[in-house]
Structure 1
Amino acid sequence: MSEPVKLVVLITTLPGRGREQAEAYERLAPLVRAEEGCLRYDLHRVADDPDRFVLIEEWTSKAALAAHDATPHMIEADAASPSFRAGPAQVLELTTAPLA
């Protein structure tokens, strides 16, 4: 069996627009968490910066993540986010670090 897919997504909004990101996440999170293969979908605000966020995602497989990206609610969210984001989100895929 393959290892789950873990992502850290770095998000910066336009100045003063962090609230819109948080509201978009609140609407989206229940839909995403209900998707098959979603293990984790949690948004965190960067301390002392209301316009920067870290989204932590975990999926059972690359196929589950690909299906997530193709859902109508994600397509709609991706189309709306440029109105309040400073630029594209930076997506970091994590792997397990080998022990020394």
Structure 2
Amino acid sequence: MVYIIAYLTAHKGKGDDVVVLAAPLIEATRREAGCITYDLYRKPGDPDALVFVETWKDKVAVDAHFEEPHLKAFQSAMADLLIEARIELVSPEKVEVL
């Protein structure tokens, strides 16, 4: 199994917009082959700080996810809403920043 932790920081007051735009992404991703869990959380006290916590069967499933149109559409929609995004891929061998 591999895990992805994606930290998103939205512009002030834009966290709600990110959550709304993420809903179709979450629904579609949960149906992907190899997706075990895919959840979005908000930092208590800071609604503009969000974290995706994902569990995948293997790296092949993650690579396929990164090619999905629903992920690419979400990334495009987020371009003007985010200050920062940091994605970490956690596997038994290492932690990679993507």
TM bucket normalised to smaller: 0.7 to 0.9
1: CA distance, partners of 2:77 / 2:91 = 30
**Aligned-pair CA distance for 1:94:** 2.3
Percent identical pairs in the alignment equals 29
1:9 maps to which of 6, 11, 14:
6
One-letter amino acid of the structure 2 residue matched with residue 24 of structure 1: L
1: CA distance, partners of 2:68 / 2:42 = 25
2:18 maps to which of 8, 17, 21:
21
2: CA distance, partners of 1:25 / 1:72 = 13
* TM-score relative to the length of structure 1: 0.86
One-letter amino acid of the structure 2 residue matched with residue 48 of structure 1: G
RMSD (CA atoms)? 1.4
Matches within 5 A, 1:26-45: 26-45=23-42
Name the structure where strand makes up a greater proportion of residues. 2
1:71 maps to which of 54, 68, 73:
68
SS in structure 2 of the partner of residue 83 of structure 1 = coil
For structure 2, the 5+ residue unaligned runs are 93-98
* TM-score relative to the length of structure 2: 0.88
**Aligned-pair CA distance for 1:27:** 1.8
Q: CA contact under 8 A between 2:21 and 2:77: conserved in structure 1?
A: no
1:93 maps to which of 86, 89, 92:
89
Q: Which has the larger radius of gyration?
A: 1
For structure 1, the 5+ residue unaligned runs are none
